[in-house]
Amino acid sequence: MTSPLPLRRLGRMGPEVAALGLGCMGMSDFYGPADRGESVATIHAALEAGVTLFDTGDFYGMGHNEMLLGEALRGRRDQAVISVKFGALRDPDMDFRGYDCRPEAVRNFVTYSLRRLGVDYIDIYRPSRLDPAVPVEDTIGAITDLVQQGYVRHIGLSEVGPETIRRAAAMHPICDLQIEWSILSRGLEAGIIPVCRALGIGVTAYGVLGRGLISGHWSRERRTQDFRTECPRFQGCNLEHNLALVERLRDIAGAKGTTVARVAVAWALARGEDVVPLVGARRRDRLAESLGALTVRLTSDELVAIDAAVPPGAAAGGRYPEAQLKFMDSER
């Protein structure tokens, strides 16, 4: 696989991918209606630009996102590294009903994903959250069986804490941890990131634009009826406080002659060569803006200025609604 973009390896033994990946969630769920044709065109534009990592979940639109990605990748499977999350349970109203990571459920979920994607194997397969009723060893053991059978190439994790990471890695090599990491979300830096680095586990960082909050395109007047209305960072005084932080970033971006979004993505890229940011672009113009961050080199002085403008912990409000945070092992 060749790419005109810089490459990074996910973990010591994981796949080599382009330095930016595309998160496809918003093309099917959580951020309101999306244009299917534009979504497919955005995936094609990502491929043509050299993006190789495409992230989805079987519960994004309850299969819709996998079918969309499978359609867009038809005939181009060898150009893509497909990452799939599984385990989330939802009802017909699309409300979350917990997680199921039992070995028999893992085998059932992967079968659906392979069919919806139209592929013979999944490059990276990961539980979307820790199932508190199932030892992580049982879940990783089931995925290990799928690796041995050729249905999965690599095993990843998502939103888990240090102890779970260690236990999982003791069962099978883990290529990467997928977790939210942005200028606004830095709680993982003290405990989780050092464990990943000690074990040779890469990081795929999602939410690098704070779900649009630090994209530079959000405003006080913007009204949206999607998942973000439930997130504390987008509510009331929290939103006012957080948008004031964005204005500080806008000053730094302006002085560098670039955009807030590119500064935010460049900041994530600067976390280390073991980090691959996922950008959740649903349109080609937003994808192009994020890809432009690959040409933005933040100096040490500029990184210090960003820390001063938005210190760790400066964001107001939790990164998820409380009902979802309780399922996140990474928050314990």
Active-site positions? 60
Rounded-to-integer distance, Cα 270 and Cα 264, Å: 10
Rounded-to-integer distance, Cα 245 and Cα 228, Å: 18
Report how many helices (DSSP H) and strands (DSSP E) the chain contains, helices first.
11, 12
C-alpha pair distances (Å), 119 with each of 71, 80, 122: 11, 11, 7
DSSP 243-275: HHHHHHHHHHHHHHTS-HHHHHHHHHHTT-TTE
What's the residue count for the chain? 332
- DSSP-derived letter for residue 328 is -
In sequence order, the 6+-apart residues with CB closer than 8 A to the CB of 148 are none
Rounded-to-integer distance, Cα 86 and Cα 128, Å: 5
CB 96 within 8 A of CB 328: no
Please name which of 22, 82, 33, 41 lies closest in space to residue 58, comparing C-alpha atoms.
82
174-180 and 202-206 strand pairing: parallel
Strand segments (E) across the chain: 7-9, 16-18, 21-23, 53-57, 81-86, 88-90, 96-99, 122-127, 152-158, 174-180, 202-206, 275-279
Rounded-to-integer distance, Cα 15 and Cα 243, Å: 37
